[in-house]
Amino acid sequence: MSDGSAGDVDYGRFGDDYSRYRQPEPAIAALVRAALGDATTVLNVGAGAGSYEPTDLQVTAVEPSASMRAQRPPGRPAIDASAEDLPFPDAAFDAAIATFTVHQWRDLEAGLAELRRVARGPVVVLTCDPARLSRFWLAEYVPEVITVEERRYPSMDRLRAAWPAASIRPVPIPWGCVDGFGEAYYGRPEALLDPGARHANSAWSFVDPALHARFERALGIDLEDHSWDRRWGHLRTQPTFEGSLVLVVDPGSPVP
């Protein structure tokens, strides 16, 4: 039974353990916070369990999934609503953020228009550029997962069409990233042998369970005989990885 999730994943089935694996990465949070500039009031759309919400600002959270809302910290509730129909008047907030969520929206353009409508100043979107997903070594093991993500994430051209003034810049992913999206494990392949780590990445819910078993078997063999390290071992000591993660910032009007 669906928990009210507005996107293409039912987090009532796949999101119960999400917050265990998906914590805000401080280096990424700092970039999101800096992009908000002088904002005081911020709307977080598709807020999930609360990652990347600036704790020093007045944040209003919107999250359609009951499972995600239940995982939010005490005292930080979220409103049950979706990006495409925000229950706020025009220019109600200084700024808005949307992190790891735009690929879930049923109508991307409507959601982006709503974000722009309710925010006077910057709108900050943390997402992935589908054209850069194949940089990750996972493409060698389960290209089906990469194909799913390429189909789900909106192209940068669509974002530019909606927000012509927006800047789009790559976000370096630090080794040891505590936000367990797929590329967070670029230098720690063993971590993706944990089924929970994979289930915290919604793309894995779209592929046949047999692919999970195939991946575990193939990666396990390659780690045991060191063939993964012969191909990708330099990533174990590489401090950051520039993969598909990008920060999109539409400036809006300066916050008075």
pLDDT tens for 87-145 read: 999 999 999 999 999 998 999 999 999 999 999 999 999 999 999 999 999 999 999 99
Q: Are 96 and 112 in contact (CB under 8 A)?
A: no
Residue 17 vs residues 30, 69, 105, 197: alpha-carbon distances, Å: 25, 12, 22, 9
Report domain 11-250's class. Answer: alpha beta
Instruction: Flag the least confident range among 15-29, 32-46, 49-63, 148-162.
Output: 15-29
pLDDT tier at 201, thresholds 50, 70, 90: confident
Instruction: Give the residue from 196, 44, 37, 27 showing the smallest Cα distance to 121.
Output: 37
Task: Answer yes or no: is pLDDT of 42 > 60.
Answer: yes
Question: What pLDDT band is residue 4 in, cutting at 50, 70 and 90?
Answer: very low
CA–CA separation, 84 and 198 (whole Å)? 28
pLDDT tier for residue 169 given thresholds of 50, 70 and 90:
very high
Q: What is the CA radius of gyration of the chain?
A: 18
How many Cα atoms occupy the beta-carbon half-sphere of 67 within 13 Å? Answer: 18
What pTM was computed for the model? 0.88
